[in-house]
């Protein structure tokens, strides 16, 4: 898997090098932070760091669920649409039942759609790419059926103050992201479900033969992914005070980019929340830093494409060395 673990008698230098190679996303993150700190006086300020964390938290919460699904060897393309539906329900239902029941139902819509995705994948044996590609198209349809073509406005704007709690410069949204990431890192590394996630992603037949209920397992992870997408949608509705039917469009792509940037592999069986946090922060720092430097929008898009390919190449080089 890596350079250092192969070599028991590693010198300190080798183990440091091995650690750096295994966690190349953090090295890359540190480099981008240094570059932007040097080139913009506004970058390394307490306020801006707080901004980056808040901005990153939205994709970050989606990325947590995506990481679980991707370690399973699956993918969920429908998270952007699920978040739009949750945000529409959380705002639209407030007139009928009050704030918290509406938020709860929004959350449940995400869980239910994640459950549907997972069940379809498990029962049909279809690739999750197809199932959730259908979901991406169809759930967006559900959003439009519910809210029409107009943005829904929150009836009482005190709703937008709910996440406006700060711990120093760090927002509640960012805290929530880190708390969820830590919790699911614990799930991955210290619970049976977590170990099964790696096993299923690594070799699904072996996992099945070892007595893991693969179907139930996948349904659980897709449900978690859908629920987290709903959490993201609700936080977004609180931040904006409106629910736009096109909210979250192509966010699934940014999410996949963040997770892959972190080093989690699409093939499954490998990855962690640490990596995903690294990927999410790198993405957020790049977007924020490029904007502070006043670069036009297209630079961001082009840099993102380039960085993504670089991450793949790097991962390939390191991985090939490690495997031999």
Partner 1 sequence: MGQTINGLLRRHGLILAFLVFLGGVALNAEAFLTPGNILDVLRQVSITGMMALGVTFVVLTGRLDLSVGSMLTLLTVIVVDQHNIVGPFPAIVMTLLAGLAVGAINGLLVGFVKLNALIVTLAMLSFLQGLVLFYSGGSNVNVSNAQDTWFGVFGRGDFLGLPVPVVLFFVSAVIAGLVLQFTTFGRRVYGVGGNETASIFSGIDARWTVFWAYVVSGLTTGVAAVIMGSRVMGAQNTIGQGYELTVLAGVILGGTSLLGGSGSIWRTVIGISMLGFIQNGLLLLGFPYYVQWLVTWAVIIIAVWIDLGAKRGRIFA
The piece of 89-97, 155-163, 230-238, 301-309 that touches partner 1 (CB under 8 A) is 301-309
Adjacent-strand bridge partners of 171: 166
- 122 lies in the binding site for partner 1 (CB under 8 A): yes
- Percentages of the chain per state (helix, strand, coil), in multiples of 5: 75, 0, 20
Q: β-strand 242-243 against 166-167: which pairing, if any?
A: unpaired
Among 20, 35, 108, 133, binds partner 1 (CB under 8 A): 133
Q: Where in 174-213 is the site for partner 1 (CB under 8 A)?
A: none
Among 24, 140, 217, 287, which residue sits at the site for partner 1 (rule: CB under 8 A)?
A: 140
Show the 3-state SS of 220-264. HHHHHHHHHHHHHHHHHHHHHCEECCCCCCCHHHHHHHHHHHHCC
Rounded Cα gap, residues 265 and 314, in angstroms: 13
User: Is position 71 an interface residue for partner 1 (rule: CB under 8 A)?
Assistant: no
Q: Which of 31, 166, 316, 321 binds partner 1 (CB under 8 A)?
A: 316
Number of residues this chain uses to bind partner 1 (CB under 8 A): 46
Is-contact 315 259, C-beta < 8 A? no
How many helices (H) does the chain have, and how many strands (E)?
15, 4
Look at the chain and count its residues: 324
Please identify which residue in 238, 256, 258, 284 interacts with partner 1, judged by CB under 8 A. 256
162 CB-contact burial (10 Å; exposed 0-12 / middle 13-18 / buried 19+): middle
Of 5-13, 159-167, 203-211, 297-305, which part binds partner 1 (CB under 8 A)? 297-305
Q: Is 299 in the site for partner 1 (CB under 8 A)?
A: yes
From the list 13, 96, 158, 298, which residue makes contact with partner 1 (rule: CB under 8 A)? 298
Residues that bind partner 1 (CB under 8 A): 75, 120, 122-127, 129-131, 133-142, 144-145, 215, 253, 256-257, 260, 266-267, 296-306, 308-309, 312-313, 316
């Amino acid at each position: 898997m890596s350079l250092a673990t192969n070599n028991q008698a590693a010198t300190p230098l080798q183990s440091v090098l091995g650690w750096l190679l295994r966690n190349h996303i953090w090295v890359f993150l540190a480099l981008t932070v240094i570059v932007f700190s040097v080139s913009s006086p506004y970058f390394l300020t307490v306020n801006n760091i707080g901004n980056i964390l808040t901005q990153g938290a939205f994709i970050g919460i989606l990325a947590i669920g995506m990481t679980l699904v991707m370690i399973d060897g699956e993918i969920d393309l429908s998270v952007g649409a699920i978040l739009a539906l949750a945000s529409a329900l959380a705002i639209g239902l407030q007139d009928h039942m009050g704030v918290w029941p509406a938020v709860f139902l929004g959350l449940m819509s995400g869980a239910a759609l994640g459950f549907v995705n997972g069940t379809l994948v498990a029962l049909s044996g279809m690739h999750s790419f197809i199932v959730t590609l259908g979901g991406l198209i169809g759930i967006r349809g559900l959003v439009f059926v519910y809210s029409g073509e107009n943005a829904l406005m929150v009836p009482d704007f005190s709703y937008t103050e709910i996440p406006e709690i700060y711990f120093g410069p760090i927002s509640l949204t960012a805290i929530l992201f880190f708390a969820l990431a830590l919790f699911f890192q614990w799930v991955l590394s210290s619970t049976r479900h977590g170990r099964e996630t790696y096993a299923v992603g690594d070799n699904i037949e072996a996992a099945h033969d070892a007595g893991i209920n693969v179907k139930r397992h996948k349904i659980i992870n897709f449900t978690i992914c859908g629920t987290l997408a709903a959490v993201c949608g609700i936080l977004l509705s609180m931040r904006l005070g409106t629910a736009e039917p096109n909210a979250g469009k192509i966010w699934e792509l940014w999410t996949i980019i963040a997770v892959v940037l972190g080093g989690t592999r699409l093939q499954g069986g490998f990855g962690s929340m640490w990596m995903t946090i690294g990927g999410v922060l790198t993405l957020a720092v790049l977007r924020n830093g490029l904007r502070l430097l006043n670069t036009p929008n297209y630079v961001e898009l082009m840099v993102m494409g380039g960085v993504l390919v670089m991450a793949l190449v790097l991962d390939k080089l390191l991985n090939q060395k490690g495997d031999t």
